[in-house]
Amino acid sequence: MIGIKLTNRQDEILKIVKESGPITGKQIAEKLSLTRAALRPDLAILTMAGNLDARPRVGYFYNHKRDGKRHAENFLHQKVADYKAHPIVVEKSTSVYDAIVQLFLEDVGTLYAVDGLGHLAGVISRKDLLRTAIGSNNLHELPVSVIMTRMPNIITIEPQETLLQAAKKLIENHIDSLPVVKEVENQRNTYLLVGRITKTTITRAYLEIMDEKSG
Ligand code: ADP
């Protein structure tokens, strides 16, 4: 697919075809008070780029499928702030046992641990808990702070970043979730938790946007 920036005239042509298609080149030219020859390069560009379909002896059609593709491209440029879910948070002194219970109650794959000031301190994933559960018989006593992935090793994302940036961080770091954070002023690597982005969040955002546009 070719991504091009359309000229005003090309936008006008698309509008006409959307409203009146199928429509011949001659009819489009008449509506724009142009000659067919003057219009030909624009029609060629729009057809090559996939915005329009042309059928001999019928005319030009608007390509709705192309709309879907364009929205698919735009979807990843949406802001994290608009799609983040609530973070599921435990105190870092919480026992591994209670964290496992929390994971089931909240129906999530990852918990975030905070310190006494409410700042992000760690990430506890399903596998962290499973690993501990098969390796320790003291789950009621063991705090999650011992097993979690800690700051400054946590990969975070900020609300103004895009879903594309979130998707890249998830894939490149082989993780399922990203804490959405705001850095505490003048304190490097100290974050307040404001949400979470998971692979599910991104898939759901994709479905929502595609459904909206096709509906
Ligand atoms: P699972 O354990 O279910 O496979 P993940 O793939 O998300 O879930 O986690 C794999 C490992 O990466 C775990 O040890 C976890 O603590 C760590 N991890 C998860 N999310 C992050 C993150 N945002 N930043 C740093 N480490 C993370």
pLDDT digits (tens, 9 = 90+) for 110-155: 999 999 999 999 999 999 999 999 988 899 999 999 999 999 999 9
For residue 213, pLDDT over 70 is answered with no
Q: pTM higher than 0.85, yes or no?
A: no
**DSSP letters for the chain:** ----PPPHHHHHHHHHHHHH-SB-HHHHHHHTT--HHHHHHHHHHHHHTTSEEEETTTEEEE-HHHHHHHHHHHHTTSBGGGTPBPPPEEETTSBHHHHHHHHHHHT-SEEEEE-TTSBEEEEEEHHHHHHHHHH-S-TTT-BGGGTSEETTS---B-TTSBHHHHHHHHHHTT-SEEEEEEEPTT-TT-EEEEEEEEHHHHHHHHHHHHHHHH-
For residue 1, pLDDT over 50 is answered with no
Report the atom number in ligand 1 closest to the C-alpha of 149: 16
Q: Which of 104, 120, 127 to mutate to test the pocket of ligand 1 (most atoms within 8 A of CB)?
A: 127
**Contact 127 CB / ligand 1 (< 6 Å):** yes
Question: pLDDT, tens digit, for every residue of 25-48?
Answer: 999 999 999 999 999 999 999 998
Q: Which domains does the chain have, with CATH numbers?
A: 8-62 (1.10.10.10), 80-207 (3.10.580.10)
| Ligand 1 centroid – CA 175 distance (Å) | 5
